[in-house]
Amino acid sequence: MPTPRSGSDRLDAFFTAAPAGLAILDRELRYTQINETLALMNGRPVADHLGKSVREVLPTIAVTLEPLLQRILETGEPALNIELSGETPAQPGVTRYWRASLFPLAGAPRRRKSDRNGGAGGIGAIVVEDTPRRHAERALRRSGADYRAIVEQATYGIYRSSVEGRFLKVNPALVTMLGYETEAQVLALELDRDVYVDSGERARVILQTSGLDRITGTEVEWKRQDGHRIIVRLSGRVVKSEQGVVKGFEMIAEDVTEQRTLERALQQAQKMETIGRLTSGIAHDFNNLLTVILAQSNLIAKALPAEPGRELHRDLDELTDAARRGAELVHRLLGFSRHETLDLLPLSVPEWVQEELHTLRRLLPATIEIECDAEPAAGVVEADAGALEQILLNLATNARDAMPKGGTLHLDVRRTRLDAEDRPLHAWVEPGSYVCIAVSDTGAGMDAKTQARVFEPFFTTKPAGVGTGLGMAMVYGLVKQHKGFVHLYSEMGQGTTVKIYLPLALEEPVPGGARAAGAAEMLPGGNEVILLVEDDLHLRTVAQRLFEKVGYRVIAATDGAEGLVEYRARAAEIDLVITDMVMPKTSGVQLYEAIRDEAGRGTGVKVLFTSGYPAPDFRESLAGDPDVAFVTKPWTASELLRQIRALLESR
Ligand code: ADP
Ligand code: MG
């Protein structure tokens, strides 16, 4: 039968086995008792503690611990669950952390008279090691700070949003991306109304992702504060409740507008390249077949009896004729993609165009007026005159077909520059000086689908027998062989402008003309405020970027009505209005008239019209306003920027 243990025995057992550090100190702060756990924490055996003071055992920690213990002795008040930290002799250089409860013990005999009444007889201590938790916490805090820094300084927009359509948290990059000044402005936005261009798009994205946990690279269209649209690529996490109900989104938003614009230009160039190669392969094979047919029919013709076979001769003639027409067609196809050598000779474009006017006059019906505006010193190009004529005739024929009831064909020749800045609009141009031949009509125009395919061989919208679909393909191919570029601008019901850029051959200085390539890399800019009114997203985006790049401040509007609202709100700031002519709702002309009414004729803001086709009546009616100028679409960066500067600096 085990002997019943005394209370003191049990207390000793408890003292030894406790997983917390326990100790009793006397009034001189010496260890009178200490358990293994605490001795281990201090890094010394139990025996090394007994009779020694806190200061002797833990010199660094005693600095803070001693005053605390003194106060407990004096006041009799415990210090519960306090944090202690410091180095122990066992691990010098390592800061350790403890949680301790220190409390006064009664009953120790007073040693001296000076001992105060009510003072404690000693101190009990319960100590728990806290170092691992504190280290983990500190690491966590540090990494939290890192993440915050990443989010704050990220170049991508990062946000958290609610299902209902509010931003809950946004980083500075997102604020900038959306064109606002402060986070608070963005947090006040309603996504469906203020951020998404199409108010239903967000709901569709949510629907698509209802079964998913993350969104990867979904592209949506957003609008900035100034109305300017951007294409944004969203990736991130769908936040769901435990029941799987979508509660919100944690997203990274990347503005890919420029990237997409460039890609589109590149795709178009690649498509034409592929079609060209394919066509040329087929054309060569056909050419060989037709050559065989023609040669064989020649032999047969010779072998046929002269008189009795007249019938046969006629049949054979028809066969030969068809083969010849086939060969012609093939040659036109080869014009699109041929690598045959052209006869490149120096040719003064303005002179050449003047001569061609006679041919055009013969080709076009009297209902079509021909106008020509050629800068006499536009320049010389290395060109094959025959090929150039083919280009001009193809364009004129199309213009004629587009104006069955008559209209105006306008030719314009001038020297111009293409810059790297023109790439987003004009595919892969080589920066440099060019002579530009612009052929405009006031005809039916083309819709976007036609514009996208117009250079493809065999693409035609004309009835069979009328259209071959080779005219524009040839233009493209021939211009490319001159190391030039074709740009096209068209507006349904208004007209079409095709601009052919041929590299300038001789860089002799031209009075008033563009400067030489290389020297003119700097595009003229300024710090004025421009109101840009343009309904075409693509054009507006490119123009806004271009203006901002050279220093202007831009207010963008998507049509005349919005342009007028912006103008009325900020007329005092605005130095120049650049407006498209043809826009839904309020046209550029209506906008101009409203602005002039606002300001009083002649005293108003300067207005630069961008227009793709000649509108002679309108131009005449504006000729009296010195604060108006025109730039024809498709414009180039340097043309547009130079006109802006000229207009801003006039008078
Ligand atoms: P085709 O004239 O034989 O149809 P093209 O290659 O010359 O072939 O032109 C292709 C298509 O492009 C035309 O069918 C027409 O729809 C369109 N197109 C070309 N030029 C013009 C223009 N000036 N105005 C309107 N549409 C045009
Ligand atoms: Mg044609």
3-class SS string, 238-263: EEECCCCCEEEEEEEEEECHHHHHHH
Higher-confidence residue of 32 and 516: namely 32
What phi, psi does 22 have (nearest 5°)? -125, 140
In the structure encoding, which two tokens stand for residue 48, read together? 């090394």
Dmax (CA) of the chain: 160
Closest CA to ligand 1's atom 8: 469
If phi > 0 it is left, if psi is from -120 to 50 it is alpha, else beta; for residue 266 that is alpha
Would you give the DSSP letter of residue 2? P
Please state, in angstroms and rounded to a whole number, the distance separating the CA atoms of residues 438 and 454: 17
394 Cα–ligand 1 center, Å: 9
Q: Is-same-fold flag (154-255; 529-649)?
A: no
Closest ligand 1 atom to residue 455 Cα is: 6
Specify the 3-state DSSP secondary structure of 110: coil
Nearest CA to ligand 1 atom 19: 398
Using pLDDT thresholds of 50, 70 and 90, give the confidence band for residue 339. Answer: low
Q: What is the mean predicted confidence (pLDDT) over 77-106?
A: 86
Q: How many other CB atoms are there within 10 angstroms of residue 468's CB atom?
A: 16
Amino acid making up residue 523: L
Tens digit of pLDDT for each residue in 534-566?
A: 988 878 888 888 898 889 999 999 888 999 999
DSSP lists the bridge partners of residue 222 as 196, 230
Atom in ligand 1 nearest the alpha carbon of residue 471: 7
- CA dist 277 → 271, 274, 283, 486 (Å): 10, 5, 10, 18
Give the least confident one: 171-185, 268-282, 529-543: 268-282
Q: Which atom of ligand 1 is nearest the CA belonging to 444? A: 25
Taking ligand 2, which is a single-atom ion, which protein residues have CB atoms under 5 Å away? 398, 471
Element (H, E) at 138: helix 131-153
> In angstroms, how far is the first alpha carbon of the chain from the final one?
120
Instruction: Locate the ligand 1 atom nearest the alpha carbon of residue 456 and give its number.
Output: 6
| Residue that the structure tokens 């012609």 belong to | 328
Across 30-39, 131-140, 333-342, 622-631, the highest mean pLDDT is recorded for 30-39
For residue 249, the CA-to-ligand 2 centroid distance in Å is: 52
Q: How far is the CA of 442 from the centre of ligand 1 (A)?
A: 14
Taking residue 512's Cβ as centre, other Cβ atoms within 10 Å add up to: 7
Q: How much is the pLDDT for 108? A: 46
Please give the DSSP secondary-structure letter assigned to residue 361: H
Cα–Cα separations (whole angstroms), residue 272 to 433, 443, 473, 476, 509: 24, 26, 9, 9, 35
Closest CA to 455 of 224, 276, 636, 278: 276
DSSP for 508-537 reads ---TTSPPPTTTT-SPP--S-EEEEE-S-H
Q: Kindly list the strands in the beta sheet with 157-162, ordered across the sheet, starting from the edge strand earlier in the chain.
A: 167-170, 157-162, 246-255, 229-240, 214-223
Domain segments of the chain as ranges: 7-132, 154-255, 266-336, 345-506, 529-649
pLDDT in tens, 355-387: 999 989 988 999 999 999 999 999 999 998 888
For residue 146 the two structure tokens come to 């890192």
At 26, which helix (H) or strand (E)?
strand 21-26
pLDDT exceeds 60 at position 117: no
Q: In the 8-state DSSP scheme, what is residue 225?
A: T
pTM to 2 decimal places: 0.55
Residue 434 clears pLDDT 60, i.e. is over it: yes
Tell whether the torsion through CA atoms of 271, 277, 279 and 282 is positive or negative. negative
Name which of 20-34, 253-267, 452-466, 485-499 the model is least confident about.
Answer: 253-267
CB atoms within 10 A of CB 235: 14
pLDDT at 184 > cutoff 50:
yes
Structure tokens at 316: 């054979």
Write down the CATH number for the domain with range 345-506.
3.30.565.10
Lowest mean pLDDT among 348-352, 598-602, 604-608, 617-621: 598-602
Helices (H), 454-587: 471-481, 537-549, 560-570
pLDDT in tens, 449-473: 999 899 887 889 998 777 888 889 8
Sequence-ordered list of residues with C-beta below 8 angstroms from that of 625, at least 6 positions apart, any chain: 596, 601, 602, 607
Q: DSSP code of 483?
A: T
Report yes or no: 502 and 391 within 8 Å, Cβ to Cβ: no
Which tokens go with 453?
A: 């395919």
Phi, psi at residue 137, to the nearest 5°? -65, -40
Can you tell me which atom of ligand 1 is nearest the CA of 445? Answer: 25
Which two structure tokens, joined as six digits, stand for 170?
Answer: 């946004």
Could you tell which of 272, 460, 468, 478 is best to mutate to test the pocket of ligand 1, judged by most ligand atoms within 8 Å of the CB?
A: 460
Asked if residue 634 has a cis previous peptide bond (ω within 30° of 0), the answer is yes
For the cut 90, the answer to whether the pLDDT of residue 442 exceeds it is yes
| Residue 476 CA, ligand 2 centroid: distance in Å | 12
Q: What is the pLDDT of residue 154?
A: 76
Name the burial class of residue 465, with classes exposed (0-12), middle (13-18) and buried (19+) by CB atoms within 10 angstroms of its CB.
Answer: exposed
pLDDT digits (tens, 9 = 90+) for 626-651: 888 888 887 888 888 988 999 999 87
Please give the structure tokens belonging to residue 78: 């415990």
The CATH code of the domain at 7-132 is: 3.30.450.20
Is a pLDDT exceeding 70 seen at residue 602? no
The one-character DSSP state at 464 is B
Residue of 280 and 605 predicted with greater confidence: 605
319-329 mean pLDDT? 85
What percent of the chain lies above the pLDDT cut of 90? 35
- With a 6 Å cutoff on the Cβ, whether 467 touches ligand 1 is yes
446 lines ligand 1 (CB under 6 A): yes
**Token code pair at residue 391:** 């280009």
Predicted confidence band of residue 136 (pLDDT cuts 50, 70, 90): confident
User: Distance between CA atoms of 24 and 103, rounded to whole angstroms?
Assistant: 10
DSSP 291-343: HHHHHHHHHHHHHS-TTTTHHHHHHHHHHHHHHHHHHHHHHHHHHHH--SPP-
| CATH H-level superfamily of 529-649 | Response regulator (3.40.50.2300)
Pairing of strands 21-26, 31-34: antiparallel
Under the phi-then-psi rule, with left for phi > 0, alpha for psi from -120 to 50, and beta for the rest, what region is 359?
alpha
Distance CA 350, CA 345 (A): 15
Per-residue pLDDT tens for 477-526?
888 888 898 989 998 988 999 999 999 986 554 444 444 434 445 788 89
Note the pLDDT of residue 306.
75
Looking at CATH, the fold of the domain delimited by 154-255 is given as Beta-Lactamase (3.30.450)
Backbone phi, psi, residue 5, to 5°? -80, 145
Which is more confidently placed, 341 or 80? 80
Instruction: Say what the alpha-carbon torsion angle 225, 228, 229, 231 is, to the nearest 10 degrees.
Output: -90
One-letter amino acid identity for 403?
M
